[in-house]
Amino acid sequence: MSQINITNLTFSYEGSFDAVFENVSFSIDTNWNLGLIGRNGKGKTTFLRLLTGALSYQGSISANTAFDYFPYHVTENQKRLPASAFIGDLKPGCEEWRVICELAGLEETAEILYRPYHTLSFGEQTKLLLAILFSDENDFLLVDEPTNHLDSQAREAVKNYLASKKGFILVSHDRDLLDACIDHVLVLNRQTIEVQSGNFSSWWENKQRKDQFNMTENEKHLKEIQKLKKAARRTADWADKNESRKIGFDPIKEHDRSKGARPYIGAKTKKMQRRAAQMTNRIEKEIEEKEGLLQDLEKTVDLKLMPLSHHKERLVNIQDYSLQYTDADYPVFTDLTFEICQGDRVALHGENGCGKSSLIKMILQKADRKTTAGTSQPSGLPVSETGVCETASGLIVSYVSQDTSGLKGSLSAFCEERGLDYTLFCSLLRQLDLERIQFSKNMEDYSEGQKKKALIAASLLMPAHLYIWDEPLNYIDIFSRMQIERLILEYQPTLLFVEHDVRFRETIASKIINL
């Protein structure tokens, strides 16, 4: 057990106007299971890269341990090979038998070590890389969002596996995973960094209490400031009035005043001016203290949605539906039956490869719809169908794809291509906590979480009868997830979605379809 000490850490990317970290200092223990929490773009992945020495920085990071980072970069050449051929390149000194032991803890067989890497599913690739990462007990491990694109079964295996380990930093926006795996949190707040014992839920409960206390204190400060301002104005007015009376007077109106009163009036004016100055200083101190209370307050803005009402109650009808790709030996799924009516929030649930995205693409193809969110209409899929898959006539669908690779160019070009109001779009991105400085960047330079926020904002701006979201929350920070949950529960749009975040699915879905 040892400590990692960060002292006066300062870092900013070349060409960027904003510093990611500026003179921050804190310490963490290598025996902790540490959850790294923060908004998209706050520097979570950057901090992990700083620990590994991949980036240059000012200040100091002292540690008596080596660091290793997940996910490993697997080259195109390596993807054509079985992992057994290149695990030593990813982690020098890695032994095969140790990887096999770790795979067993991840509920996976050794067989995936000897298949070409590119033939493995997302879940199998993730488990394999985690097994390689944890095959050496001497490193302090940095695990960056291990559950993105994983189905529920794979997430559960990864959750149980990480809960059994000691000594790592975990970056994740999955609240269920964080609660199960961590015993400390490192939080990148808006202005400060804090380290606290406990899991996500205990930290969140403490934060809500602290924020409520600070808001109450802030209201007291505001009332006190208003009183002080009023008293300062009154005293300043008195001082100005007396100053104007110091020289010259009307002997008829001020018959009781003599020429000898001038020194007295001057002394009284100075006293009043000093009192006004003291009140002004006190007001400035009160304002400074108030700002200190609220600098880390996470006050998310309630979003708005404009769902359309359709003339038909039933929007999608699936009856005894089967789907098979023309070059496949067996169907993706068979005999599927369900319907989507207005107001339904339907979650498609199942393992990776069970046909969730294929079903969504077929519904999109059959709908007479407009789409948004950065992806074009899927062309005709090479499939054969049996049964019924139909949509209501004139159905307008707003679609969010799980794929962000097509996002390039400026925000204004993105809005122009999709017929979105640029001002409203930027305003919505600000409500999702995308900093204004990001608006001048090209979208290919955004983090994955920032790209997903752009897709969701585009979808929210489009009035639609049906919203179809395919894994919308991958890379989205915890605060924005809660924000989106509140939005859906308030406006209750008709929604068909795929999402492996257990808490989001349980909170939002009115109907779950298991594939």
pLDDT tens, per residue, the chain with 515 residues: 689 999 999 998 876 667 889 899 999 999 999 999 988 878 899 999 999 999 999 999 999 899 999 999 999 999 999 999 999 999 999 999 999 999 999 999 999 999 999 988 888 999 999 999 999 888 899 999 998 878 888 889 999 999 999 999 999 999 999 999 999 999 988 778 889 999 999 999 998 888 888 778 777 777 777 776 777 677 667 666 666 655 555 555 555 555 555 566 666 667 777 777 777 777 667 666 655 555 555 556 667 888 899 999 999 999 999 998 888 788 889 999 999 999 999 999 988 778 888 899 999 988 864 444 434 344 567 888 899 999 999 999 999 988 888 899 999 999 999 889 999 999 889 888 888 888 888 999 888 888 999 999 999 888 899 999 998 888 888 888 988 999 899 999 999 999 988 889 999 999 999 98
Q: Where are the beta strands (DSSP E) in 214-325?
A: 314-325
Rg (CA), the chain: 30
| Residue range 314-514 in CATH 3.30.200.20 | no
Same fold, 3-199 and 314-514: yes
> How far is residue 279 from each of residues 119, 241, 286, measured CA to CA in Å?
73, 18, 10
SS3 call for 220 = helix
Cβ neighbours for 486, distance < 8 A, ≥ 6 positions apart: 302, 303
> What are the residue boundaries of the structural domains of the chain, listed by start?
3-199, 207-294, 314-514
pTM here is 0.73
| Residue 514: its H or E element | strand 511-514
DSSP secondary structure letters along 130-194: HHHHTT-TTSEEEEE-TTTT--HHHHHHHHHHHHT--SEEEE---HHHHHHH-SEEEEE-SS-EE
Nearest to 70 by CA among 48, 88, 55, 86: 48
> How far is residue 81 from each of residues 113, 411, 425, measured CA to CA in Å?
10, 39, 44
DSSP secondary structure letters along 427-447: HHHHHTT--GGGGGS-GGGS-
| Residue 63: its H or E element | strand 58-63
Cα angle for residues 94, 99, 101 (degrees, 5° grid): 140
Cβ neighbours for 198, distance < 8 A, ≥ 6 positions apart: 183, 184, 185, 206
pLDDT, position 100: 95
SS3 call for 75 = coil
Residues 111 and 107: their CA atoms lie apart, in Å, by: 12
Cβ neighbours for 235, distance < 8 A, ≥ 6 positions apart: 272, 275, 276, 279
Two tokens, residue 427: 């305003």
Two tokens, residue 227: 């009183």
Nearest to 421 by CA among 452, 457, 392, 385: 457
Question: Are 441 and 413 within 8 A, CB to CB?
Answer: no
CA atoms within 13 A on the CB side of 161: 27
Q: What is the CATH number of domain 3-199?
A: 3.40.50.300
| Residue 468: its H or E element | strand 466-470
Strand-strand pairing, 168-171 and 184-188:
unpaired
Two tokens, residue 408: 């390039």
CA atoms within 13 A on the CB side of 121: 14
SS3 call for 109 = coil
SS3 call for 251 = coil
Question: What 8-state DSSP symbol labels residue 116?
Answer: B
First to last CA, the chain: 46
Question: Are 290 and 225 within 8 A, CB to CB?
Answer: yes
pLDDT, position 293: 54
Look up tokens 């709908």; give the residue.
367
Three-state secondary structure string covering 338-375: EEEECCCEEEEECCCCCCHHHHHHHHHHHCCCCCCCCC
71 preceded by a cis bond (ω within 30 of 0): yes
Two tokens, residue 313: 């109650």
pLDDT, position 371: 43
Cβ atoms < 10 Å from Cβ of 357: 19
Phi and psi at residue 222, to the nearest 5°: -60, -40
